[in-house]
Structure 1
Amino acid sequence: MSIIFQSLSRTVIAGIVILALLLFFVGNGLTNGVAHAIGLRWLHVGSGVMWIGLLWYFNFVQIPSMPKIPDEQKPAISKVIAPAALFWFRWSALATVVTGLLVAWNAHYLVQALTLADPARTIGIGMWLALLMAFNVWFIIWPNQKKALGIVVVEAAEKAKAARMAMLTSRFNTMLSVAMLYCMVAQQNGGL
Protein backbone atom coordinates (compact mmCIF):
# COMPACT_ATOMS: atom_id res chain seq x y z
CA MET A 1 0.00 0.00 0.00
CA SER A 2 2.79 2.46 0.80
CA ILE A 3 3.97 2.23 -2.82
CA ILE A 4 0.86 4.23 -3.78
CA PHE A 5 1.87 7.11 -1.52
CA GLN A 6 5.49 7.24 -2.67
CA SER A 7 4.44 8.78 -5.99
CA LEU A 8 2.05 11.69 -6.48
CA SER A 9 0.86 10.28 -9.82
CA ARG A 10 0.08 6.88 -8.23
CA THR A 11 -1.73 8.64 -5.38
CA VAL A 12 -3.89 10.64 -7.80
CA ILE A 13 -4.58 7.55 -9.92
CA ALA A 14 -5.63 5.68 -6.76
CA GLY A 15 -8.00 8.54 -5.93
CA ILE A 16 -9.51 8.32 -9.41
CA VAL A 17 -9.93 4.55 -9.04
CA ILE A 18 -11.72 5.08 -5.71
CA LEU A 19 -14.00 7.64 -7.38
CA ALA A 20 -14.70 5.24 -10.28
CA LEU A 21 -15.59 2.46 -7.85
CA LEU A 22 -17.82 4.81 -5.90
CA LEU A 23 -19.60 5.89 -9.08
CA PHE A 24 -19.95 2.29 -10.22
CA PHE A 25 -21.44 0.99 -6.98
CA VAL A 26 -23.39 4.04 -5.77
CA GLY A 27 -23.94 6.25 -8.78
CA ASN A 28 -25.25 3.71 -11.28
CA GLY A 29 -28.67 5.39 -11.26
CA LEU A 30 -27.33 8.66 -12.67
CA THR A 31 -28.46 9.66 -16.12
CA ASN A 32 -25.83 10.79 -18.61
CA GLY A 33 -26.96 14.42 -18.30
CA VAL A 34 -26.75 14.41 -14.51
CA ALA A 35 -23.39 12.61 -14.57
CA HIS A 36 -22.07 15.18 -17.06
CA ALA A 37 -23.25 18.09 -14.89
CA ILE A 38 -21.72 16.55 -11.77
CA GLY A 39 -18.47 15.87 -13.63
CA LEU A 40 -18.20 19.48 -14.81
CA ARG A 41 -18.93 20.80 -11.32
CA TRP A 42 -16.39 18.35 -9.83
CA LEU A 43 -13.71 19.64 -12.22
CA HIS A 44 -14.69 23.22 -11.38
CA VAL A 45 -14.58 22.70 -7.63
CA GLY A 46 -11.34 20.68 -7.83
CA SER A 47 -9.52 23.32 -9.87
CA GLY A 48 -10.96 26.04 -7.61
CA VAL A 49 -9.68 24.26 -4.51
CA MET A 50 -6.23 24.10 -6.10
CA TRP A 51 -6.33 27.78 -7.12
CA ILE A 52 -7.64 29.27 -3.88
CA GLY A 53 -5.64 26.79 -1.80
CA LEU A 54 -2.44 28.01 -3.44
CA LEU A 55 -3.54 31.66 -3.14
CA TRP A 56 -4.05 31.16 0.57
CA TYR A 57 -0.78 29.18 0.87
CA PHE A 58 1.11 32.11 -0.62
CA ASN A 59 -0.61 34.65 1.63
CA PHE A 60 -0.94 32.73 4.89
CA VAL A 61 2.28 30.66 4.75
CA GLN A 62 4.93 31.59 2.18
CA ILE A 63 4.90 35.40 2.28
CA PRO A 64 4.79 35.67 6.11
CA SER A 65 7.49 32.98 6.44
CA MET A 66 10.02 34.49 4.02
CA PRO A 67 11.53 36.98 6.53
CA LYS A 68 12.13 34.09 8.96
CA ILE A 69 14.04 31.98 6.42
CA PRO A 70 17.84 32.39 6.46
CA ASP A 71 19.17 34.04 3.29
CA GLU A 72 21.16 30.96 2.27
CA GLN A 73 17.95 28.88 2.28
CA LYS A 74 15.76 31.35 0.33
CA PRO A 75 16.89 30.10 -3.11
CA ALA A 76 15.10 26.81 -2.36
CA ILE A 77 11.87 28.80 -2.24
CA SER A 78 12.53 31.22 -5.09
CA LYS A 79 14.13 28.75 -7.50
CA VAL A 80 12.20 25.54 -6.77
CA ILE A 81 9.03 25.83 -4.68
CA ALA A 82 7.61 29.18 -5.83
CA PRO A 83 7.95 28.51 -9.60
CA ALA A 84 6.26 25.11 -9.22
CA ALA A 85 3.49 26.54 -7.03
CA LEU A 86 2.97 29.44 -9.46
CA PHE A 87 2.66 26.98 -12.37
CA TRP A 88 -0.21 25.18 -10.65
CA PHE A 89 -1.61 28.49 -9.36
CA ARG A 90 -2.03 30.13 -12.76
CA TRP A 91 -3.24 27.02 -14.62
CA SER A 92 -5.73 26.13 -11.89
CA ALA A 93 -7.04 29.72 -12.08
CA LEU A 94 -7.62 29.28 -15.81
CA ALA A 95 -9.17 25.82 -15.31
CA THR A 96 -11.48 27.22 -12.63
CA VAL A 97 -12.71 29.98 -14.92
CA VAL A 98 -13.17 27.71 -17.95
CA THR A 99 -14.96 24.98 -16.01
CA GLY A 100 -17.09 27.57 -14.20
CA LEU A 101 -18.22 29.02 -17.51
CA LEU A 102 -18.96 25.50 -18.74
CA VAL A 103 -20.98 24.71 -15.61
CA ALA A 104 -23.03 27.90 -16.09
CA TRP A 105 -23.49 27.21 -19.81
CA ASN A 106 -24.51 23.60 -19.17
CA ALA A 107 -26.99 24.66 -16.48
CA HIS A 108 -28.39 27.41 -18.74
CA TYR A 109 -27.64 30.37 -16.48
CA LEU A 110 -24.48 31.80 -18.07
CA VAL A 111 -26.13 34.90 -19.57
CA GLN A 112 -28.13 35.62 -16.40
CA ALA A 113 -24.99 35.26 -14.28
CA LEU A 114 -22.79 37.46 -16.46
CA THR A 115 -25.51 40.14 -16.64
CA LEU A 116 -26.22 39.80 -12.90
CA ALA A 117 -29.86 38.98 -13.55
CA ASP A 118 -32.13 36.99 -11.29
CA PRO A 119 -32.04 34.16 -10.36
CA ALA A 120 -28.26 33.93 -10.97
CA ARG A 121 -27.21 37.31 -9.56
CA THR A 122 -25.27 35.91 -6.61
CA ILE A 123 -23.28 33.40 -8.65
CA GLY A 124 -22.80 36.12 -11.26
CA ILE A 125 -21.13 38.35 -8.68
CA GLY A 126 -18.90 35.43 -7.73
CA MET A 127 -18.10 34.82 -11.40
CA TRP A 128 -17.11 38.46 -11.98
CA LEU A 129 -14.93 38.40 -8.88
CA ALA A 130 -13.28 35.19 -10.12
CA LEU A 131 -12.74 36.67 -13.59
CA LEU A 132 -11.05 39.72 -12.07
CA MET A 133 -8.93 37.49 -9.86
CA ALA A 134 -7.90 35.28 -12.79
CA PHE A 135 -6.99 38.39 -14.80
CA ASN A 136 -4.80 39.49 -11.90
CA VAL A 137 -3.12 36.08 -11.77
CA TRP A 138 -2.19 36.03 -15.45
CA PHE A 139 -1.56 39.70 -16.20
CA ILE A 140 -0.26 41.20 -12.94
CA ILE A 141 0.91 38.53 -10.49
CA TRP A 142 2.64 36.16 -12.93
CA PRO A 143 4.54 38.80 -14.96
CA ASN A 144 5.73 40.43 -11.74
CA GLN A 145 6.61 37.11 -10.12
CA LYS A 146 8.79 36.24 -13.12
CA LYS A 147 10.82 39.39 -12.37
CA ALA A 148 10.81 38.85 -8.61
CA LEU A 149 12.01 35.24 -8.94
CA GLY A 150 14.67 36.04 -11.53
CA ILE A 151 12.97 34.12 -14.33
CA VAL A 152 13.08 37.43 -16.19
CA VAL A 153 16.30 39.28 -15.37
CA VAL A 154 15.81 42.89 -14.25
CA GLU A 155 17.64 45.43 -12.10
CA ALA A 156 17.42 45.02 -8.31
CA ALA A 157 15.09 48.02 -7.90
CA GLU A 158 12.68 46.71 -10.54
CA LYS A 159 12.85 43.24 -8.99
CA ALA A 160 11.85 44.65 -5.58
CA LYS A 161 9.06 46.73 -7.16
CA ALA A 162 7.76 43.66 -9.03
CA ALA A 163 7.81 41.55 -5.86
CA ARG A 164 5.79 44.20 -4.03
CA MET A 165 3.25 44.50 -6.88
CA ALA A 166 2.83 40.71 -7.03
CA MET A 167 2.35 40.54 -3.26
CA LEU A 168 -0.16 43.40 -3.15
CA THR A 169 -2.16 41.96 -6.05
CA SER A 170 -2.11 38.54 -4.39
CA ARG A 171 -3.43 40.14 -1.20
CA PHE A 172 -6.13 41.89 -3.27
CA ASN A 173 -7.12 38.49 -4.69
CA THR A 174 -7.16 37.00 -1.18
CA MET A 175 -9.54 39.77 -0.13
CA LEU A 176 -11.82 39.12 -3.12
CA SER A 177 -11.71 35.35 -2.56
CA VAL A 178 -13.66 35.69 0.68
CA ALA A 179 -16.69 37.22 -1.06
CA MET A 180 -16.25 35.07 -4.17
CA LEU A 181 -16.40 31.84 -2.16
CA TYR A 182 -19.41 33.13 -0.25
CA CYS A 183 -21.24 33.83 -3.52
CA MET A 184 -20.55 30.28 -4.73
CA VAL A 185 -21.96 28.76 -1.56
CA ALA A 186 -24.84 31.22 -1.21
CA GLN A 187 -26.16 30.70 -4.75
CA GLN A 188 -26.69 26.97 -4.33
CA ASN A 189 -28.34 27.58 -0.96
CA GLY A 190 -30.90 30.18 -1.98
CA GLY A 191 -28.89 33.31 -2.68
CA LEU A 192 -27.45 36.13 -0.62
Structure 2
Amino acid sequence: MEAHAFDLLLRWAHFLGGLIWIGHNYANVVQRPSYRPLQREEMADASSATFMALLNREHGTFRYASVVTWGAGIVMLLQRGWLMDAIMLKGYFAVIGLGMWIGTLMLANLWLVLWPHQKKVLGFVPASLDDRIRCARVTYLSSRINTMLSIPLLFFMAASTHGTAVFS
Protein backbone atom coordinates (compact mmCIF):
# COMPACT_ATOMS: atom_id res chain seq x y z
CA MET A 1 0.00 0.00 0.00
CA GLU A 2 1.31 3.42 -0.90
CA ALA A 3 2.56 5.46 2.08
CA HIS A 4 0.04 8.27 1.59
CA ALA A 5 -2.88 5.87 1.34
CA PHE A 6 -1.70 4.02 4.47
CA ASP A 7 -1.38 7.32 6.34
CA LEU A 8 -4.89 8.33 5.26
CA LEU A 9 -6.24 4.95 6.38
CA LEU A 10 -4.54 5.36 9.77
CA ARG A 11 -5.90 8.88 10.20
CA TRP A 12 -9.45 7.79 9.41
CA ALA A 13 -9.19 4.72 11.66
CA HIS A 14 -7.91 6.97 14.46
CA PHE A 15 -10.64 9.55 13.85
CA LEU A 16 -13.59 7.15 13.47
CA GLY A 17 -12.45 4.91 16.32
CA GLY A 18 -12.10 7.99 18.51
CA LEU A 19 -15.59 9.18 17.58
CA ILE A 20 -17.06 5.85 18.63
CA TRP A 21 -14.97 5.53 21.79
CA ILE A 22 -15.27 9.09 23.07
CA GLY A 23 -18.78 9.47 21.66
CA HIS A 24 -19.94 6.51 23.72
CA ASN A 25 -18.64 8.20 26.86
CA TYR A 26 -20.38 11.47 26.04
CA ALA A 27 -23.62 9.65 25.16
CA ASN A 28 -23.55 7.99 28.58
CA VAL A 29 -23.17 11.38 30.26
CA VAL A 30 -26.17 12.71 28.34
CA GLN A 31 -28.28 9.62 29.02
CA ARG A 32 -27.38 9.44 32.71
CA PRO A 33 -26.10 12.86 33.86
CA SER A 34 -26.12 11.80 37.51
CA TYR A 35 -25.60 8.49 39.20
CA ARG A 36 -28.70 6.58 40.18
CA PRO A 37 -27.78 3.37 41.92
CA LEU A 38 -29.36 0.26 40.49
CA GLN A 39 -31.85 -1.26 42.88
CA ARG A 40 -31.53 -4.82 44.11
CA GLU A 41 -34.80 -5.68 42.34
CA GLU A 42 -33.46 -4.42 39.01
CA MET A 43 -30.33 -6.55 39.29
CA ALA A 44 -31.93 -9.66 40.79
CA ASP A 45 -34.26 -10.28 37.86
CA ALA A 46 -32.31 -10.81 34.64
CA SER A 47 -35.44 -10.06 32.61
CA SER A 48 -36.00 -6.63 34.19
CA ALA A 49 -36.21 -3.73 31.75
CA THR A 50 -33.25 -1.93 33.34
CA PHE A 51 -31.02 -5.01 33.25
CA MET A 52 -31.98 -5.79 29.65
CA ALA A 53 -31.19 -2.19 28.66
CA LEU A 54 -27.73 -2.59 30.20
CA LEU A 55 -27.24 -5.89 28.42
CA ASN A 56 -28.32 -4.52 25.04
CA ARG A 57 -25.86 -1.61 25.11
CA GLU A 58 -23.06 -1.49 22.66
CA HIS A 59 -20.66 -2.79 25.33
CA GLY A 60 -18.31 -4.33 22.80
CA THR A 61 -18.09 -1.78 20.02
CA PHE A 62 -16.65 1.07 22.05
CA ARG A 63 -14.02 -1.15 23.73
CA TYR A 64 -12.61 -2.29 20.42
CA ALA A 65 -12.87 1.24 19.01
CA SER A 66 -10.50 2.25 21.82
CA VAL A 67 -7.93 -0.29 20.65
CA VAL A 68 -8.25 0.84 17.03
CA THR A 69 -7.91 4.50 18.05
CA TRP A 70 -4.91 3.94 20.30
CA GLY A 71 -3.20 1.54 17.90
CA ALA A 72 -3.64 3.82 14.88
CA GLY A 73 -2.26 6.75 16.89
CA ILE A 74 0.80 4.78 17.97
CA VAL A 75 1.43 3.55 14.41
CA MET A 76 1.14 7.11 13.06
CA LEU A 77 3.70 8.33 15.61
CA LEU A 78 5.98 5.39 14.82
CA GLN A 79 5.61 5.89 11.06
CA ARG A 80 6.71 9.51 11.38
CA GLY A 81 9.61 8.68 13.72
CA TRP A 82 8.01 10.67 16.55
CA LEU A 83 7.09 7.88 18.95
CA MET A 84 10.13 7.95 21.26
CA ASP A 85 10.12 11.75 21.52
CA ALA A 86 6.38 11.69 22.25
CA ILE A 87 6.83 8.98 24.90
CA MET A 88 9.62 10.96 26.54
CA LEU A 89 7.73 14.29 26.13
CA LYS A 90 10.67 15.88 24.30
CA GLY A 91 10.42 19.33 22.75
CA TYR A 92 7.80 19.84 20.07
CA PHE A 93 6.49 16.30 20.59
CA ALA A 94 5.65 16.85 24.26
CA VAL A 95 2.22 18.16 23.27
CA ILE A 96 1.17 15.09 21.27
CA GLY A 97 2.99 12.96 23.85
CA LEU A 98 0.73 14.27 26.61
CA GLY A 99 -2.28 13.35 24.49
CA MET A 100 -0.80 9.92 23.88
CA TRP A 101 -0.22 9.32 27.60
CA ILE A 102 -3.74 10.44 28.47
CA GLY A 103 -5.11 8.12 25.78
CA THR A 104 -3.01 5.27 27.16
CA LEU A 105 -4.37 5.92 30.65
CA MET A 106 -7.91 5.97 29.27
CA LEU A 107 -7.34 2.68 27.41
CA ALA A 108 -5.95 1.04 30.56
CA ASN A 109 -8.87 2.36 32.61
CA LEU A 110 -11.35 0.96 30.10
CA TRP A 111 -9.82 -2.51 29.77
CA LEU A 112 -8.40 -3.04 33.28
CA VAL A 113 -11.00 -1.32 35.47
CA LEU A 114 -14.27 -0.66 33.66
CA TRP A 115 -14.63 -3.82 31.59
CA PRO A 116 -13.85 -6.39 34.33
CA HIS A 117 -16.48 -4.74 36.54
CA GLN A 118 -18.96 -4.30 33.72
CA LYS A 119 -18.76 -8.02 32.91
CA LYS A 120 -20.08 -8.70 36.42
CA VAL A 121 -22.86 -6.11 36.10
CA LEU A 122 -23.99 -7.58 32.78
CA GLY A 123 -23.84 -11.13 34.11
CA PHE A 124 -21.05 -12.31 31.81
CA VAL A 125 -19.05 -13.27 34.91
CA PRO A 126 -20.76 -14.82 37.93
CA ALA A 127 -20.98 -12.44 40.88
CA SER A 128 -23.18 -11.99 43.92
CA LEU A 129 -25.95 -9.42 43.77
CA ASP A 130 -24.10 -7.14 46.21
CA ASP A 131 -20.94 -7.37 44.11
CA ARG A 132 -22.87 -6.56 40.93
CA ILE A 133 -24.39 -3.49 42.56
CA ARG A 134 -20.93 -2.35 43.74
CA CYS A 135 -19.49 -2.99 40.28
CA ALA A 136 -22.22 -0.83 38.71
CA ARG A 137 -20.92 2.13 40.72
CA VAL A 138 -17.30 1.37 39.72
CA THR A 139 -18.22 1.23 36.01
CA TYR A 140 -20.11 4.51 36.31
CA LEU A 141 -17.16 6.29 37.93
CA SER A 142 -14.62 4.72 35.58
CA SER A 143 -16.63 5.84 32.56
CA ARG A 144 -16.86 9.38 33.95
CA ILE A 145 -13.10 9.47 34.50
CA ASN A 146 -12.55 8.60 30.83
CA THR A 147 -15.07 11.23 29.77
CA MET A 148 -13.26 13.91 31.77
CA LEU A 149 -9.85 12.76 30.52
CA SER A 150 -11.06 13.01 26.92
CA ILE A 151 -11.24 16.82 27.22
CA PRO A 152 -7.48 17.37 27.72
CA LEU A 153 -6.80 14.47 25.33
CA LEU A 154 -8.66 16.21 22.51
CA PHE A 155 -7.01 19.52 23.40
CA PHE A 156 -3.48 18.09 23.19
CA MET A 157 -4.26 16.23 19.97
CA ALA A 158 -5.47 19.44 18.33
CA ALA A 159 -2.74 21.59 19.89
CA SER A 160 -0.02 19.33 18.52
CA THR A 161 -0.81 20.59 15.03
CA HIS A 162 -2.83 23.73 15.57
CA GLY A 163 -1.33 25.44 18.57
CA THR A 164 2.21 24.43 19.36
CA ALA A 165 3.20 28.09 19.49
CA VAL A 166 1.42 28.20 22.83
CA PHE A 167 3.83 25.54 24.15
CA SER A 168 7.11 26.76 22.62
Q: TM-score, normalised by structure 1?
A: 0.75
| Selected match of 2:31 from 61, 74, 79 | 61
Using CA pairs below 8 Å that are at least 6 residues apart, which structure has the higher relative contact order?
Answer: 2
| Selected match of 2:15 from 2, 25, 45 | 45
In structure 2, the CA distance between the partners of 1:177 and 1:189, relative to structure 1 (3 Å rule), is same
Give me the whole-angstrom Cα distance separating, in 2, the residues matched to 1:151 and 1:99.
Answer: 29
Give me the whole-angstrom Cα distance separating, in 2, the residues matched to 1:94 and 1:33.
Answer: 22
Q: What residue in structure 2 maps to residue 132 of structure 1?
A: 105
2:95–2:160 CA contact under 8 A, matched in 1 = yes
Q: What residue in structure 2 maps to residue 107 of structure 1?
A: 80
Give me the whole-angstrom Cα distance separating, in 2, the residues matched to 1:148 and 1:118.
Answer: 44
Secondary structure at the residue paired with 1:153? Answer: coil
Deviation readout 1:88-140 (Å, 9 max, x if unpaired): 11111111111110011112111111111111111100000000000011010
Give me the whole-angstrom Cα distance separating, in 1, the residues matched to 2:52 and 2:34.
Answer: 16
1:66–1:74 CA contact under 8 A, matched in 2 = no
Give me the whole-angstrom Cα distance separating, in 1, the residues matched to 2:14 and 2:66.
Answer: 10
| Selected match of 1:73 from 27, 45, 49 | 49
After TM superposition, the structure 1 stretch with the greater mean CA deviation from structure 2, 37-46 or 54-63, is: 54-63
Q: What residue in structure 2 maps to residue 13 of structure 1?
A: none
Deviation readout 1:63-112 (Å, 9 max, x if unpaired): 65978xxx64213312222xxx1101111111111111001111211111
1:43–1:99 CA contact under 8 A, matched in 2 = yes
Secondary structure at the residue paired with 1:168? Answer: helix
1:123–1:183 CA contact under 8 A, matched in 2 = yes
Q: Cα RMSD between the aligned structures?
A: 2.0
2:51–2:122 CA contact under 8 A, matched in 1 = no
Unaligned runs of 5+ in 2: 43-47
Unaligned runs of 5+ in 1: 1-30
Deviation readout 1:165-188 (Å, 9 max, x if unpaired): 111111111111100011111111
Alignment of 1:1-192 (within 5 A): 32-62=2-32, 64=34, 72-81=48-57, 85-191=58-164, 192=166
Secondary structure at the residue paired with 2:3? Answer: helix
Q: TM-score, normalised by structure 2?
A: 0.85
2:82–2:93 CA contact under 8 A, matched in 1 = yes
Deviation readout 1:129-154 (Å, 9 max, x if unpaired): 00000001101000000111222121
